[in-house]
């Protein structure tokens, strides 16, 4: 016990340094507080001249802001989000708002101007991907992917491989699988001869989930997922379904935490994550081995028609070309194995599934547009069922989906970080509605958020902004000449080099779904009670949506009636 008796002596020997340590600690704390204060004052100067809101903690991330209470100046959730979405810009009469956050040393801007959004997305020399944001760093647990990597060489490397996988064969298969899955839905929900789709959002998300399971991973997904017992190994289908259902928790919580938290549901989520990633690696390696076997047999392999297989094939081809090139000393070509898996785990279907739910809602509320689409289908397809060969001619079937997305945008915000000081265009207006153009100096390091729903409901850029009018997405003398409105930028899929790489895939799914349904059925709202007004029905179908990682439909039903 000698060492124990020596402790007080050692402590007393160093007693003379205690005041100095307190002074040092106080100095560090004072420096931290003063530097934070001066930084905050600097940000206040940067945002001068704009409508400004203040907070202590950041509360603008979708998914989180729907789960925490509104506390003014601390967590002012309502300052970052409103419904109708245009309201928070309309009241200050400015389509550019500024926010300060005491715990973040940067100015934060929100814009609802589609042309400002276009400027931010396409001016890559000035605005960059904010890959340091938690949503991107969290997703890297599955492997780096095209959405989260930094701009420049890294993004180009991912894009060159992923874009090459989205060919006509993949799009054709997406159409065929969507067509087959709609038939499966009708059979499983007992709606082949007409009937009520009781939970539209749940049904459409299941449809796109099944399609991406087949086209993305090459797995046939049943309508009802079989469950394993506790302690048993999950099937790919079950692990995939749990990952899909709990995606917010998968991103937010580290895997080790889900293993030790004594909650059965969280442990099951962790098990699903481990087994799903394991299945992905196994499938990728099996595909690589299959391609190697074909090569040894002297057979030329065609790109597989599932996205995972296509990515592995693209990687094998890139490696082979590099070996035959005199510049093969390059450290990396194509994508690493974990990057292939990361890109597959990012292959989303939720946005398309929810868009289809809102499309059915809008069509049920606007039967005249059903008639317009049916007329287009009959003109293009005659008495035959719509097929992929008709995809470029069914413009209105896509336009109804785009218009449903414009009115209820699924992805709530997109953002960039300023790489250098730059001028950002914006507008204000007076009581008479006269618009005044301005520019605001945005300092390097500032975050610029594009409020996509508000941008697409901006009445100064969209005529009758709150009216469902799919033809606004068709331009040119021939309505089928273009699927992009020539006058107003449509920001839902982003723009520029970081535009959603799966956009065309999602569009093919939308066209196939709408054409398959409307060629055989008419769609009608289902009143909650006898005599319910159309205004009340519309509110239930559209305004009941809640914000999660994406805009999620509330519970509503529609009735399918078989065409005679």
Categorize the per-residue pLDDT at 8 as very low, low, confident or very high, splitting at 50, 70 and 90: low
Look up residue 474 and give its two tokens: 């068709």
H-state helical runs in 408-465: 452-455
Q: Provide the phi-psi class of 137: left if phi over 0, else alpha when psi is between -120 and 50, else beta.
A: alpha
Q: Match 């967590």 to its residue by tokens.
A: 75
Q: Decide if pLDDT at 89 tops 60.
A: yes
Look up residue 362 and give its two tokens: 């809008």
Q: Match 């289809």 to its residue by tokens.
A: 356
Collapsed DSSP state (helix, strand, coil) of residue 342: helix
Cβ-contact 334, 315 below 8 angstroms: yes
User: CA angle at residue 25 from 19 to 29, to 5 degrees?
Assistant: 140
What count of Cα atoms within 13 Å lies in the side-chain half-sphere of residue 521? 23
Phi–psi pair at 54, nearest 5 degrees:
-120, 150
Strands 52-55 and 96-101: parallel
Cβ-contact 258, 273 below 8 angstroms: yes
Cβ-contact 554, 539 below 8 angstroms: no
Query: Per mean pLDDT, which range of 69-83, 96-110, 404-418, 535-549 is the poorest?
Result: 69-83
Superfamily of domain 167-215+348-415+448-562: Cytochrome P450 (1.10.630.10)
pLDDT tens, position by position, 335-394: 777 888 887 776 667 889 999 999 999 999 999 999 999 999 999 999 999 999 999 999
Q: Name which residue leads in pLDDT, 449 or 479.
A: 449
Q: Region 517-544: what's the mean pLDDT?
A: 94
Q: Region 517-521: what's the mean pLDDT?
A: 98
User: CA angle at residue 229 from 224 to 232, to 5 degrees?
Assistant: 110
Q: What length does the chain have?
A: 564
* DSSP secondary structure letters along 281-302: HHHHHHHHHHHHHHHHTTPPPP
Cβ-contact 62, 435 below 8 angstroms: no
- pTM for this prediction: 0.89
Q: Decide if pLDDT at 502 tops 60.
A: yes
CA dist., res. 318 & res. 316, Å (int): 5
CA dist., res. 13 & res. 17, Å (int): 9
Q: Decide if pLDDT at 330 tops 60.
A: no
Query: Per mean pLDDT, which range of 13-22, 100-109, 391-400, 406-415 is the poorest?
Result: 13-22
Residue 424's DSSP bridge partners are 440
| Predicted local distance difference test score (pLDDT) of residue 493 | 87
* DSSP secondary structure letters along 1-36: -HHHHHHHHHHHHTGGGHHHHHHHHHHHHHHHHHHH
How far, rounded to the nearest angstrom, does the alpha carbon of residue 211 sit from its chain's CA centroid? 17
Q: Name which residue leads in pLDDT, 340 or 203.
A: 203
Dihedral (Cα; 206, 212, 218, 223), 10-degree rounding: 10
Exposure class string for 402-411: b at 16+ Cβ within 10 A, else e: bbbbbbbbbb
Q: Match 């995972």 to its residue by tokens.
A: 308
Q: Match 């547009």 to its residue by tokens.
A: 369
Cβ-contact 204, 545 below 8 angstroms: no
pLDDT tens, position by position, 404-430: 999 998 888 888 999 999 999 999 999
CA dist., res. 515 & res. 360, Å (int): 12
Q: Decide if pLDDT at 515 tops 80.
A: yes
| Predicted local distance difference test score (pLDDT) of residue 329 | 47
SS (H, E, C) 130-190: CCCCHHHHHHHHHCCCCCCCCCCHHHHHHHHHHHHHCCHHHHHHHHHHHHHHHHHHHHHCC
Q: Region 167-178: what's the mean pLDDT?
A: 92
pLDDT tens, position by position, 110-127: 999 999 999 999 999 999
Cβ-contact 70, 77 below 8 angstroms: yes
Q: Region 10-38: what's the mean pLDDT?
A: 77
* DSSP secondary structure letters along 85-103: TTHHHHTTTBSEEEEEETT
Look up residue 87 and give its two tokens: 């309201």
CA dist., res. 131 & res. 137, Å (int): 7
Name, of 13-22, 80-89, 456-465, the range with top average pLDDT: 456-465
Look up residue 271 and give its two tokens: 């098990």
Q: Match 């560090």 to its residue by tokens.
A: 28
Q: Name which residue leads in pLDDT, 149 or 101.
A: 101
Beta-carbon count within 10 A of 128 CB: 17
Beta-carbon count within 10 A of 167 CB: 12
Considering only CA atoms, which of 543, 548, 560, 556 is closest in space to residue 201?
Answer: 556
Q: Match 């420049």 to its residue by tokens.
A: 152
CA dist., res. 35 & res. 41, Å (int): 10
């Amino acid at each position: 016990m000698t060492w124990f008796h020596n402790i007080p002596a050692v402590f007393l020997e160093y007693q003379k340094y205690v005041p100095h340590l307190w002074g040092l600690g106080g100095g560090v704390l004072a420096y931290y507080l003063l530097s934070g204060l001066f930084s905050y004052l600097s940000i206040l100067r940067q945002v001068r001249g704009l409508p400004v809101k203040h907070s202590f903690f950041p509360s603008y991330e979708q998914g989180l802001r729907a789960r925490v209470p509104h506390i003014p100046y601390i967590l002012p959730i309502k300052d970052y989000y409103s419904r109708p979405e245009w309201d928070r810009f309309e009241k200050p009469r400015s389509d550019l708002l500024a926010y300060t956050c005491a715990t973040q040393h940067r100015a934060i801007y929100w814009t609802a101007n589609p042309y400002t959004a276009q400027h931010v997305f396409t001016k890559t020399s000035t605005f960059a991907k904010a890959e340091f944001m938690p949503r991107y760093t969290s997703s890297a647990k599955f492997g780096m992917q095209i959405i989260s990597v930094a701009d420049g060489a890294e993004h180009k490397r991912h894009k060159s491989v992923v874009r090459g996988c989205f060919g006509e064969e993949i799009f054709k298969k997406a159409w065929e699988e969507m067509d087959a899955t709609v038939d499966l839905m009708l059979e499983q929900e007992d709606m082949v001869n007409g009937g009520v789709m009781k939970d539209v959002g749940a049904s459409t998300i299941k449809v796109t989930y099944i399609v991406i399971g087949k086209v993305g991973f090459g797995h046939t997904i049943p309508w009802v997922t079989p469950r394993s017992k506790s302690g048993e190994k999950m099937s790919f289908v079950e692990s995939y379904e749990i990952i899909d259902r709990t995606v917010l928790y998968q991103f937010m919580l580290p895997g080790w935490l889900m293993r030790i938290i004594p909650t059965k549901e969280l442990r099951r989520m962790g098990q699903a994550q481990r087994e799903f990633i394991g299945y992905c690696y196994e499938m990728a390696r099996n595909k690589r081995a299959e391609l190697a076997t074909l090569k040894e047999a002297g057979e030329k392999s065609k790109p597989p028609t599932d996205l995972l297989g296509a990515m592995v094939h693209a990687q094998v081809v890139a490696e082979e070309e590099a070996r035959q090139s005199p510049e093969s000393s390059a450290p990396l070509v194509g994508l690493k194995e974990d990057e292939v898996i990361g890109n597959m785990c990012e292959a989303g279907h939720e946005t398309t599934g929810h868009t289809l739910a809102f499309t059915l809602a809008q069509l049920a509320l606007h039967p005249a547009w059903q008639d317009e689409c049916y007329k287009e289908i009959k003109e293009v397809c005659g008495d035959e069922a719509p097929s992929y060969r008709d995809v470029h001619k069914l413009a209105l079937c896509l336009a109804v989906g785009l218009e449903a997305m414009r009115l209820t945008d699924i992805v709530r915000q997109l953002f960039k970080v300023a790489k250098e000081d730059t001028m950002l265009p914006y507008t204000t207006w007076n009581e008479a509605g006269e618009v005044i153009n301005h520019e605001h100096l945005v300092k390097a390091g500032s975050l610029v958020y594009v409020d996509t729903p508000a941008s697409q409901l901006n009445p100064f850029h969209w005529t009758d902004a709150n009216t469902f009018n799919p033809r606004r997405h068709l331009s040119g003398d021939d309505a089928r000449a273009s699927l992009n409105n020539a006058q107003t930028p449509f920001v839902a899929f982003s723009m520029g080099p970081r535009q959603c790489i799966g956009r065309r895939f999602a569009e093919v799914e939308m066209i196939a779904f709408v054409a398959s349904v409307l060629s055989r059925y008419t769609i009608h709202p289902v009143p909650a009670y006898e005599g319910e007004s159309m205004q009340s029905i519309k509110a239930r179908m559209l305004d009941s949506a809640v914000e999660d990682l994406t805009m999620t439909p509330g519970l509503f039903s529609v009735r399918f009636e078989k065409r005679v």
